[in-house]
Structure 1
Amino acid sequence: MSLLYQRYLPYVVLGLLFLPGFSLAEPAKKNCDSLFCYSSKDDFFQFESGTRLQLDRGVFINDSRTDFDNEWNVRRARLSSSAQIGEHLSIDFTYDFARDDRSAIRNAFIRYTSANNTRFTVGHFKEPFGMERLTSVQDLAFLERSLVSLLTPPRSLGVELHKHTHHWTAAAGMFTTGTESSSNDTKFGTSARVTFAPQSDAGRIVHFGLGIAHRNTDSQQEVRFRQRPETRNTDIRLIDTRTFIADSYTYLGIESAIARGPWALQAEYIYSHVGKARINETDSGENIHFSGWHIDLTWIASGEPQPYNHEKGTFGRLRPAHSVQHGGWGAWRLGMRLSELDLTNHPITGGRQQNLTTGLTWVLNRNISLSSEYVKVLKVDGGEFTNASPAIFQSRLQIIY
C-alpha cells in the first residue's frame, strides 16, 4: 500500500466515523441512505452523494511454492453521486480513489426508465451477465467474488435495454472497451441475460438465469486470462495463461439460487469459448475453452430473511433487524464457498485452481460492517504454481454512506 494511504487513511476513517449521524446513528431522512441528499420542493430534482470505504488486511500462510507478503490494502475508496430528474431520467457517476489508473471511473451513465420498468442506459457500467458479477460488492456474502468471475465481462462503454418485473428480468446491450478492460481489449461486444424467479419474496426465493457475452478482437491481438486466489491483498496470480493470440471469445453462463428464511444456496457455471487461440502469429490456431463454477451456502445467524433485488435479479443487501445503536446485536452472516477455474486447454496451459472459502460478516448497522475470511487453495494443477496450496486469512472494515 502506498505511503500516501498509510499516512492519511487513519484520519479519513476517523473523520467518517465522527461525521454527524454517521457511525451509530440512523440517517435523518428515512428515504435517504447517502451522506448528502438534496431535493427540490416539488421533488422534480433529487441529488444524492455517498461514500464507500473498504479497508482490508491479509495474512498469508505460504507453502513451498508461494511467497506472499502480508498486506494492508485500501480495497475501495469510492465517491458516488446520482441525480434523478423528473420521473424517468437519472444520472450516475462513481469514482474510486483506491485506483491509480483509468479504471478509477466505475460508473458514468445516463438512464431513462419508463413507467413499465423498461429502462435504456448509455455510458459506462456493468454489462448484463452473471448473478455474482451483478451483485454489488457491498451486498456480497464474501470479501471477493469467486475464481470464475474472471470469465465475465468487465464494466464497459455501451448501451443497454433492460426490463424487469417481480418475477423476471431481461437485459441486452452492445459494448466496446471500457476503463476496466485489461489486455483483453476488444473492438465490439454484446451481452445479454435473462432471469426467472417463480418465488422472489425475502426469505423465499427460487431463481434461475442464463447469460451470454461475446467479444471480437483484432485477428492479431494478444489476450490473457489470469486470476488472483480470491483476495486483492496480493498481485500474484496462481493460474495464468500468459499472453496468446485469439480472434474472439464467448462466455456462456448458467445460474441458480434458492433461499428459505435465513438460508441461501447459490451456484453458477460459466463456459468460455476462445476462437482461433494460438501462441504465434504464424500458427493457424485452435478453438479452445475455459470453464469454472462456484457454489455458495450462507446462513444469516441473526435470523433476517435472505433479501432479493427484483430489479437486478440478484441477492440484495443484508440490513439488520436490530442495529447496534438501538441496543441490538446487528446482523450476523456465515458463508462457505467452493469454487474452481480451469484455464488449461491445449495449447494453452494456464492451470486449474480450486478454492474453499469460509467467512463471517457482522453488520452493525446500515453503514458499518466487519468481515473475516479464511481462504484455502485446495489445489493448483499446471502452470508456474502447480501443486501450490497456500491459505489466506483476510478481514475487512466496510463503511458505506
Structure 2
Amino acid sequence: MLYQRYLPYVVLGLLFLPGFSLAEPAKKNCDSLFCYSSKDDFFQFESGTRLQLDRGVFINDSRTDFDNEWNVRRARLSSSAQIGEHLSIDFTYDFARDDRSAIRNAFIRYTSADNTRFTVGHFKEPFGMERLTSVQDLAFLERSLVSLLTPPRSLGVELHKHTHHWTAAAGMFTTGTESSSNDTKFGTSARVTFAPQSDAGRIVHFGLGIAHRNTDSQQEVRFRQRPETRNTDIRLIDTRTFIADSYTYLGIESAIARGPWALQAEYIYSHVGKARINQTDSGENIHFSGWHIDLTWIASGEPQPYNHEKGTFGRLRPAHSVQHGGWGAWRLGMRLSELDLTNHPITGGRQQNLTTGLTWVLNRNISLSSEYVKVLKVDGGEFTNASPAIFQSRLQIIY
C-alpha cells in the first residue's frame, strides 16, 4: 500500500513537528493538529490525526500457525466543526482500512443547553461501556473477546441526554460502512447508565444496554472473533455462516474506581432467532454469551478519570508529562475474558483469554503499550484445544 511506503516519514514528522508531542502546544486550548476559530467564536473548526502502529509476535502451539506481523492498526484523519452553540459536524476517515469503507464517523448533531442531543448520520450505537470507550482511552490494545456481541458503527438517528450522574440514549439504525456478514435491514439500540459517584478517582458506575437486529434479505449471519489482536486475521472461534431471522444483544455493565485503581466488568447475552443451517430447517432460538473483567492500576498516581457525556472511563492525562521533566503516566492492567459461540446446532467454539499489559503515556500525544495475551483454552470448532500466546506492542500518536 502507498501509505505504508511513506509511513516512517509520517511518524517522524508527527513526532518532531513543532507544537506537537514533546514540545509545548501552540495554543493551550487546542488539542488538535489544526484549529481555527472566527473572531466571534461562532464558527470553530478542528482537524486531528490518530496513528497506531502495532507489532505482534506469536508463540504457536500444535494447533496454530500464526505469523509475526507489523500492522498499521489505525491511521485516521478527523475533522469537526462547531456552528454556534448547538450545531456540530464530525467526519473521520481511516486510511488503514483496506477491505471495507474507511469512513468511520460522518454525522450532524444538535445539542441543547440541557445536554439533550439529537444525532443523525454514521456513528457508534449506544451500547456497551467498553464499546463506547474511545480506542485511545482503552487500558488495552484491543477490546475484549465479548466485544463481538456489540453493534458496530451504523447509519441512523439517536436521541441522547446526560447529566453528571446518568446517561440515557436510544436510536434506530441500519447497516453502515462497517458492513459484515451480519448486515441488517433494521435495528434499534438503547443504553442507560447511573453513576452515583462520578468524580475522578471516586467512581461507581452501572449500566444496561439492548440492541435488536432484523437480518437482511439473505438472512445469513456469522459470528467470529480474533484472539484480542489485530496482528492476524485468523479467528480461533467461528460459527461459519448460518441462517437466522434476527438477533438481540442484552448487556450489563459495572465499574468502580478508587484513586488510581479501577475495576470494570461486562456481561453480554445474545439471543438469535430461528437459527438454522439451511432454509429447509424450521430453526430454533439459540444464544451466545460472553464477559470480561478488567483490573487496572495507574502506577504514576493519577486518579482514574470518568467521561460523564459517554458514561465511560475517560482519558488518562499525565500529571507530569515528559516535556516538563516528568516520567509521564504508567498504567498496568489485567483482563480475563470469555466468549461462547456454541449452542446446538451452531458450534462456533468457546474461548477464554488472559491479558496483561503496560502502557506508558508520555504526554497527551504519545503513548507506548506492550501486552501479553494468553489463550487459556478453546473448546470446540476447528481450533479446539488451541492455546497460543501473543506478545504485542503499539506506538500511538494522537493529535
TM-score (norm 2): 0.99
Corresponding position of 1:268: 266
Q: How many residues align?
A: 399
Is 1:106 the counterpart of 2:104 in the alignment? Answer: yes
CA deviation map 1:255-302 (0-9, x unaligned): 000000000000000000000000011000010000000000000000
Larger CA deviation: 26-35 vs 367-376: 26-35
Assess, with a 3 A threshold, how the Cα gap between structure 1 residues 30 and 294 changes in structure 2: closer, same or farther. same
- 2:100·2:179 contact (CA, 8 Å) conserved in 1? no
- 2:151·2:211 contact (CA, 8 Å) conserved in 1? yes
CA distance in 1: counterparts of 2:23 and 2:313, whole angstroms: 26
CA distance in 2: counterparts of 1:188 and 1:266, whole angstroms: 31
CA distance in 1: counterparts of 2:32 and 2:327, whole angstroms: 23
Corresponding position of 1:192: 190
Task: For residue 100 of structure 1, report the CA deviation from its aligned partner.
Answer: 2.0
- 2:257·2:263 contact (CA, 8 Å) conserved in 1? yes
- 1:220·1:247 contact (CA, 8 Å) conserved in 2? no
- 1:143·1:371 contact (CA, 8 Å) conserved in 2? yes
CA distance in 2: counterparts of 1:303 and 1:23, whole angstroms: 22
CA distance in 2: counterparts of 1:18 and 1:347, whole angstroms: 56
TM-score (norm 1): 0.98
Among residues 142, 145, 159, which one is paired with 2:143 in the alignment? 145
Task: For residue 200 of structure 1, report the CA deviation from its aligned partner.
Answer: 0.1
CA deviation map 1:337-365 (0-9, x unaligned): 00000000000000000000000000000
Helix, strand or coil at the partner of 1:17:
helix
CA distance in 2: counterparts of 1:37 and 1:383, whole angstroms: 51
Equivalent residues in 2 for 1:1-400, closer than 5 Å: 4-218=2-216, 220-400=218-398
CA distance in 2: counterparts of 1:30 and 1:20, whole angstroms: 14
CA distance in 1: counterparts of 2:246 and 2:79, whole angstroms: 36
CA distance in 2: counterparts of 1:220 and 1:76, whole angstroms: 31
Helix, strand or coil at the partner of 2:101:
helix
Task: For residue 74 of structure 1, report the CA deviation from its aligned partner.
Answer: 0.2
CA distance in 1: counterparts of 2:177 and 2:100, whole angstroms: 6
Task: For residue 5 of structure 1, report the CA deviation from its aligned partner.
Answer: 4.5
- 2:251·2:268 contact (CA, 8 Å) conserved in 1? yes
CA deviation map 1:126-165 (0-9, x unaligned): 0000000000000000000000000000000000000000
Task: For residue 108 of structure 1, report the CA deviation from its aligned partner.
Answer: 0.1
Task: For residue 219 of structure 1, report the CA deviation from its aligned partner.
Answer: 6.2
CA distance in 2: counterparts of 1:229 and 1:218, whole angstroms: 28
- 2:21·2:364 contact (CA, 8 Å) conserved in 1? no
Task: For residue 220 of structure 1, report the CA deviation from its aligned partner.
Answer: 4.4
- 1:362·1:371 contact (CA, 8 Å) conserved in 2? yes
- 2:183·2:216 contact (CA, 8 Å) conserved in 1? no
- 2:60·2:388 contact (CA, 8 Å) conserved in 1? yes
CA distance in 1: counterparts of 2:229 and 2:99, whole angstroms: 20
Larger CA deviation: 325-334 vs 16-25: 16-25
- 1:124·1:178 contact (CA, 8 Å) conserved in 2? yes
Larger CA deviation: 60-69 vs 19-28: 19-28
Unaligned runs of 5+ residues in structure 1 are none
Larger CA deviation: 98-107 vs 190-199: 98-107
- 1:320·1:364 contact (CA, 8 Å) conserved in 2? yes
CA RMSD across the alignment: 0.8
Task: For residue 6 of structure 1, report the CA deviation from its aligned partner.
Answer: 4.2
Task: For residue 28 of structure 1, report the CA deviation from its aligned partner.
Answer: 2.0
Helix, strand or coil at the partner of 1:187:
strand
CA distance in 2: counterparts of 1:71 and 1:188, whole angstroms: 37
- 1:250·1:273 contact (CA, 8 Å) conserved in 2? yes
Percentage of matched positions with identical amino acids = 99
CA distance in 1: counterparts of 2:60 and 2:382, whole angstroms: 15
CA deviation map 1:84-109 (0-9, x unaligned): 00000000000000012443100000
Task: For residue 26 of structure 1, report the CA deviation from its aligned partner.
Answer: 2.8
CA deviation map 1:175-213 (0-9, x unaligned): 001111301000000000000000000000000000000
Unaligned runs of 5+ residues in structure 2 are none
- 1:176·1:189 contact (CA, 8 Å) conserved in 2? yes
Assess, with a 3 A threshold, how the Cα gap between structure 1 residues 63 and 102 changes in structure 2: closer, same or farther. closer
Task: For residue 317 of structure 1, report the CA deviation from its aligned partner.
Answer: 0.3
CA distance in 1: counterparts of 2:179 and 2:4, whole angstroms: 28
CA distance in 1: counterparts of 2:386 and 2:6, whole angstroms: 36
Task: For residue 4 of structure 1, report the CA deviation from its aligned partner.
Answer: 3.4
CA distance in 2: counterparts of 1:80 and 1:102, whole angstroms: 18
Task: For residue 83 of structure 1, report the CA deviation from its aligned partner.
Answer: 0.2
CA distance in 2: counterparts of 1:112 and 1:351, whole angstroms: 44
CA distance in 2: counterparts of 1:156 and 1:345, whole angstroms: 27
